[in-house]
Amino acid sequence: MLYRFLKILVSIGLKSYYKEIKILNKKVLSTKGPLIFISNHPNTLMDAMMIGFITKKPVYFMAKGTLFNSKLKLWLLQNLNMIPINRQGENAVKGVKNQDSFEACYQLLESGKTLVIFPEGTSFLERQLRALKTGTARIALEAENRNNGKLGLKVVPLGLNYHKAEKFRSSVLVNVGEPISISQYLDNYKENVGKTAKELTELFRQKLEEILIHTANKDQERIVEALEEVLSSKYLNKRKGVEHDIRFLIELKNKVEEIEYSDPKKINEIDLLIRNIQWRLKKLDIKADFLDRRFRSVMFIRQMLFSVIFLIIGMPLFLFGLWHNMIQYKLTDFILPKITKDIEYYAPLAVLLGLILYPSFYFFFFFFASSIIEMNSFVELVYLIAMPISGFFAFWFNRYLKHISYKWRYMLLMVSDKQAMLELLQKRKELRTLIFGEEK
């Protein structure tokens, strides 16, 4: 009951926080029989919430024992379908026995349920797939072994690809891999437990890398994300959405890897050119994708005129949304750094805080307004609905204001300092040539 209630709340929170959550190969999630979902772990609690959100049937999670360090937490987390496990290198938590936890996993799988494990063991906001622990493979193999190879257990890889994970109204692409049948490894397991567990773990790694943006190191990750920042353009490519964003990142990553292998010195040239372009963009105070727009003064003036009219019309709703949502928004930004310094926790904690703060303030505004203004039931309902809706509008409207300011800045630059713009365009063209071999 508690799990179902919280799943509804978390679903509301995730749909509010992310503008798009797309699932590829979704049909695999409905595979019948016992399953183990394995996933990368870049975004702490958000990863567990995301997997719980995308699956219709209840799922059970293995979680580090240190989360269960009191009787209250133990009761609460167990009611949220979490199974504690003491990890190597951490102090064992009283009341948590790994043998009991493994037995709970076996019984869950034998009853046809779904277990979620993050085989990296730790969570960091990065695009590197860290070394996988062999525990997942051992649990899967032993569960199948206990049932003489007749359990039908399958392991399903899930690739959680966040696009700008720490930002509100960003997006997520969940790439679901094909199920891996465990029974075929049982004979080898009986002959050599450790070797088979390592081989299966290596297979898990390969399958996860196929559905992820997996960078080799921090420097490569930085270069790939910087390239996306200065090269991506909604004007050159009309396709939109997180799937396109992630595929473009993968393409950039593959190109960088090719260059690192064939001509390592070229990477330094690319890095210097990226920094130069970023410096010029910051100095001119414009966005990179504006560089791909054809400048037509008459068209820009017409667009600015329509924008001003829209801003005037939309301002009342923007102010209404700003008034009813700004306190919660700012309060969340204030509280988060006080709770944690780790950026990996920002998104999940923002969702959880939002589920508390926003409804609380909405009801405060509602009772305050109803105490000074007489409203009938219909007006009260409209007022309640209008507060969250106008909040999203205010957020979008604020971004639109910034977009207009960039557009205005771009138009002035094309008139007053066209040479600087042409030099920037040339640098960007050089970068595209270095990466793709020709202008893309």
pTM: 0.87
What pLDDT digit, counting tens, does each position of 153-200 carry?
Answer: 999 999 999 998 878 889 999 999 999 999 999 999 999 999 999 999
H helix intervals, 134-263: 135-146, 186-191, 193-210, 218-231, 242-262
Q: Which residues contact 124 (CB under 8 A, 6 or more apart)?
A: 42, 130, 344
**Residue 212 DSSP class:** S
User: How many residues belong to the chain?
Assistant: 440
Cα angle value 58/63/66 (rounded, 5°): 145
Q: How far apart are the first and last CA of the chain?
A: 53
The pLDDT, as a whole number, for residue 235 is 45
The pLDDT, as a whole number, for residue 368 is 94
From the first residue on, what is the mean pLDDT of each consecutive set of 10 residues in the chain (440 residues)?
83 93 96 96 90 94 76 72 78 76 94 95 87 95 96 97 88 97 94 95 96 92 93 62 92 94 92 95 86 71 85 95 96 89 81 92 95 92 96 94 85 85 91 80
**CA 289, CA 234: separation in Å to the nearest integer?**
7
Q: Tokens 């509602």 map to which residue? A: 366
Using DSSP, state whether 360 is helix, strand or coil: helix
Report the mean per-residue pLDDT for the chain.
89
Q: Which residues of 96-119 are buried (b: 16+ CB within 10 A; e: fewer)?
A: beeeebbebbbebbeeebbbbbbb
The pLDDT, as a whole number, for residue 82 is 86
What pLDDT digit, counting tens, does each position of 45-104 carry?
Answer: 899 999 999 999 999 998 877 777 677 667 767 777 888 888 776 666 777 788 888 999
Instruction: Please answer whether residues 220 and 256 qualify as being in contact, where contact means their C-beta atoms are separated by less than 8 angstroms.
Output: yes
The pLDDT, as a whole number, for residue 73 is 67
Q: Which residues contact 106 (CB under 8 A, 6 or more apart)?
A: 139, 142, 143, 146
- Side chain identity, residue 124: F
Instruction: Please answer whether residues 235 and 293 qualify as being in contact, where contact means their C-beta atoms are separated by less than 8 angstroms.
Output: yes
**CA 61, CA 82: separation in Å to the nearest integer?**
5
**CA 112, CA 152: separation in Å to the nearest integer?**
9
Q: Tokens 């306190």 map to which residue? A: 327
- What Cα–Cα distance (Å) separates residue 417 from each residue in 292, 405, 411, 422? 17, 17, 10, 9
**CA 163, CA 183: separation in Å to the nearest integer?**
36
Tokens of 131: 């070394």
Architecture of domain 2-210: 3-Layer(aba) Sandwich (3.40)
**CA 21, CA 248: separation in Å to the nearest integer?**
17
- Side chain identity, residue 80: L
**CA 189, CA 183: separation in Å to the nearest integer?**
10
**CA 213, CA 211: separation in Å to the nearest integer?**
7
What pLDDT digit, counting tens, does each position of 211-230 carry?
Answer: 999 998 999 999 999 999 99
